[in-house]
Structures are given as structure tokens and as C-alpha cells.
Structure 1
């Protein structure tokens, strides 16, 4: 659903740009809490400590790669992942908006995919609407479903499914405000929603499969499953045998002292959080899958136009569409201009796109995570760290409740 230049008039495009900028600015503030694991239930060290900037950058690169895998949905029509639902579930709604925004920016600047004047429109439709709808629906479903990994996967399927036609409906609303072609609103609504319901099924399958794969091995890395990884801490009583207990009739004098000192230590150890688990294996496995999708599997993607392109061509919505300003880019249309072999050209372009998106995304998220809030004192970060360590038990208990 990459909207090209010319579909919407200047006022709507400008207003969407302002809305997108506001959403990104808000997300920059919220993403810091998600990435550092501060605030509310996510202050639990077991959960927030694992949500690192490199993993969020990898999510952005993965979305870029999977968006290259167009799948057929009807005769002469294909669809591709939008990614908002997947990003929100894996790394949180604020970070999810930033992930999709980074992907759209790279696609527009380097690959001539999605108009530059329509960048705000695309961020609103593919980054904001999908994230808000999917994450809101996910949280609502998890309130009534059993607390299990299967429930998170099932809720992810439904959330992703609904998010795509919701984006199509939002497109129709923008078209009603400033569409440049003379096409009836009813025709646009019917055509857009019908084809994007089918695309939503593919989105749901990809999202649920990815979330299910991650949650099966590392539920602590899935933002939407954070309750599963942060249950209430339990105090275990530990009985310690002493020499005085083993010999009947021995006077309980100095020999009883070790038992008295060992019990509090054992209780303290029982409450201590587990040591952080390394993300390296998960990160490397995810990067390998991402590179394979972009560099190899993308060659077998459907060549049919995607849902928006097909609807626009069939109904005349694209009659005032303009050529992309970056149409002469060496990576335009996901190929390298000087390489004649289509398989090699597309594969290399995909790998380059993954690398650039990963680098830019990781850089953004590292900067966001290290940035101090404007309204916080200079020692806020160290205070938050100490508060998080001291309040883990209470926050975890509240999360479990």
C-alpha cells in the first residue's frame, strides 16, 4: 500500500505529513521507555532489560525484507506485509511506529517505492493506523483470553488481520478529503476494503507465524507477551541441614548459627532476578532469516501489482499519479541498474536494503534509548536504574495481578 505522489492533493498531503511528524515525535518519547524497559510493568528487569536497540533495528530490517515478498491474493493482484502489527507486538507500539517509518523512509529515498510528498500519508496509513488498531485489539483480546503463549499468537493473528482493512478504510477517508481523481467514494471503499481483507489474511499468517516462532523460544523478547515473562516473584523457604541436626543429642550451640544465617541468604537468593540471557543467538538467527528473505526468497515473489496498484489502475485513481523523484536511483524498483541478471540484481538490492535499514534503524534506536527526557534531571537515568532494581518485586507482583 505504498501511495505514490499525485494520489492526494497538496493540503491533504501536507496535513498527513504534519500528523506523521507528530506521531513520530510522540513515538520517540514512548520508544525510550519501551527500549530501556522503564515505566510501569515494563520496569521488570526480566522483561525490559531484553528489549534492546539492536533487536528493534532487526525488526525494522525484517519488515523491509518481508515487504519484498509479494504473495498472490486474487487473479492479477498481490499483497505484501504492512508490518505495523508485527512491529507493535514484538517491540511495542511506539517503537513499532518508528520501525515502519524507518522502512518507509528507506524505501522512498533509495528504492523509489512510495512517493516522497506522500511519505506522511504512507506513515499514517502503514505505520500509525496499523499499529494503533493492531495493538489496541491485541491488548483487548489478551484481557479475555487465557494467559498463555497460544493466546498471544492467536490474538496476533486477529490483530494483524484487522489492521490491514483498517488501513484501507483510512485511505478511503483521506481520499474523500483530497483525492485527485474523480472516482466515487463508494467505489474506492468497496475496491480497497475487499482486496485488503484478502491481503490481511496473508498479513495475519506472517505475523502469527513470526510471533509464534519467537515466543516459543524467547517470550521475554515479545512485547505483547510481557506478562508471560514477568509473573509475581515467590518466596521459597529453604531448609538447611547442620551438623547439630545430624547428631541426636548434640547441644545446639555454635553449630546452630550457620543455619540461622543461611536462611535469610537463601530467601534473598530465591527473590533475586535471573541473570540476563544473551540475545546474540536470536539476533544472528533473525538476521540470517532476514537476509535470506531479501536476497533469495524475494526472487520468487509475485510479480502482479499489489492491492493499491491494482485498485488504482482499474478505477482510474492513478490518473494524476506522478513519476517518483528518485526514479533514477541506482536501486530503484529493487534492482541494481548496472547488473543485467535479474536474480542477482534483485538479491543484491534486497541485501543492501536490509543492511541500510538495519544500520539506520539501530542507530535511531540506540540514540533514542540513550536520550535523556527533556523534563528529567541530569541524574534521572541512574535514579531510574536504581529504582528499577529496587522495585522489581513490587512491579512484577502488580503485573502478575
Structure 2
């Protein structure tokens, strides 16, 4: 197939479900590839992606300006309300704003704070698994995977667990603004409604914590100072929105993608069931094998050559983490699931100054959840052909939008 005949089109359900063959071809033949459907560059090689994600002077995270510039006129008003908070997400900022926001967040979201949640994660995992019927087909996405990470994040932020599904629906609506979400009716109005509803909830919580501080992340974030400066209310709301979204769907996809891998690899499932103490390296391999994050977007700040192509200032670039983690130049036999793989320098959570702060929490959740499922169940079976299962329509996160499994004790 000639390069000019190749189209990477994430609106194609088959490509969303399994982009690995096309990524493998691109790594060999056209590692820096222009995609007309995405109006941007697709970068698939490990080394190029590593270079791009660690060079914030050339590749900018501040891509919201570009988004606003290309919005239809009738969406500008709704977009303003959403951008009010997205502008405080450190994932969309370059230094020095990114550095300041990250220092605030890192002061409260770190390994010691995540380690204190181990008991809560185990309790929630067991409570949810206890409700699943033995031997019947269940949709793990809706009955478990999307619930657990959200409950953990709500606990972390001091929000009532009972409001999870309501807040998740607001978050889903808001994220229509920055995902691909092609063909979604009224997506800008829905994104605005989601943003306003979430902001109202979080402002109420902020007000309560200002009046009566607790020993939780929100109270610590309110009290946090960097160079004598605290976060204002819009920044606090933006940070909470980012934590909820980033720590919710990504971890759900880690769980779902790992369960799919186990269903397709019974020998690995059997090995891990007899070696539950090996869950730490196993989770690293699940993260590499089918990463929960598809890509990280950037905007070219100045003309540069990459992969023999000339990239111009203002153009969009999508660094495909999913592809980097299957790069044959870095990983031996990359299409094989090897839960003993070492070393395993995957970049499932990115690299460089924007490396995901929630990585330790996702790892802890993955280890606890998968360990408990393997301990409880003797069989993990996919209940229908994988080709009939739709994948999430997003350029950011990656995973099935439902996961019909039969779990037998």
C-alpha cells in the first residue's frame, strides 16, 4: 500500500477497535504521517514520541487556542464557559503556568497520599465484585470498571460516593469538547451544561472546606501555596475537574483492557492466578500491551523537521502512545503479552514534564483489582466476539465502551 493511499481515520469503528496493524505499518513506512481526517500529524515511533513529549519548547500543550479558533460561530458562547475551566487544566498549559499548577497538584497528589487509599480500594473492589452474579454474563464496564475509579476519586476529593453517576454524566458531556466525538448532536451545549453543573458542585464543596477544613485533598489544595500564591476558585474547580476525568476513565480503561487481554490469553491468566505476588510487573505489561491512553496532542510552536517531514508552526501533532508501546525497535516481540517482561520502558502515561501525576494511583488500583478478580474467579471469558464490541470514540482515551464477560468462580 502506498503512503498516499493510507488513511488513519479514528471515526472508523474497526480502526478504533484495533489500530495496531496500521500503526505497525506506519512505524515502518511513514512514522510521521499526515492524516487528513484528523487535520494533523500522526507520530508512531517510540523515539520520535519521546522527543516530542519532552520538548515543550517546540511542541506546545496549549492547544485550546487552536480549538477555539476553529469553532463554529454558534458554539463560541457555550465554549467560553467550558474553556473557563479547561484553561486551568495543567495538561493544557506550558511552563511557567504548567509548572506552577503542577507544583500545587503534586503537593497533595503523590504516592504517600495514594498509598493511604489501599484499604478503601480493596473495600470498594470487594463490595462491587460481591454484587456480580456468578457465571452470568455481565457488562464489566458499567457494573464495575467505570464505578470503582470514580468512587476512589470521589473519596479522594471528599465528594459523596452516591453522586458518582450524576457527576460522571456531567464529565462525559464536558469531555465532548476535547475528544473526537464526531457527529454528536448539541455537543457544545452539552459540554457547557456539564461544565456548569460540575463547577457548581465543586464550588459548593470548596466553600464548605474553606469554612470547615478537613484532612482531605481538597482542603490541602485550597491551603496550598506556590511562591506565596494560592489557587483561585476557577483554578481549584479546573484542577478538580481534571483529577476526576483523568483518574476515572483512564483507570477504567486499564481495568477493561487488562481483562480483555486476560480473556484472550488463558495461559497468562493461569500463570498469574498461581503467582498473585507478580501483579506489579503484570500491570506494567498490561499498560504497555494495550494502553488506556491512545494519544497525546500537541501544537507545533516553530517549524521543525521530524521523521523526514517538515512540520510547520501551528499544525497539530498526535503522539500515539499506543503505537510507541508496540515499537519493535524498543520491545522484543511487542505483540506478545509477557507479564514477566523486564525492562519495560512503556510510556502508557506519557513522558516529560506532563507525565501523569495519577500514575501511582492507577497502578495501585490495577494491582488490587486484577489480583482480586484472579483470586475469586477460575475463568474469565469474553461473552461475544470482540469485533461486535464498540470502542470509545476518543482521541485521548482507549478502551471498549462495554465489556460483556462471563466470570466463573
Pairwise TM-score range, normalised by the shorter structure:
under 0.3
Considering fraction of residues, name the structure with more strand: 2
Q: Which has the higher contact order (CA 8 A, sep 6+)?
A: 1
State TM-score, norm by structure 2.
0.26
State TM-score, norm by structure 1.
0.26
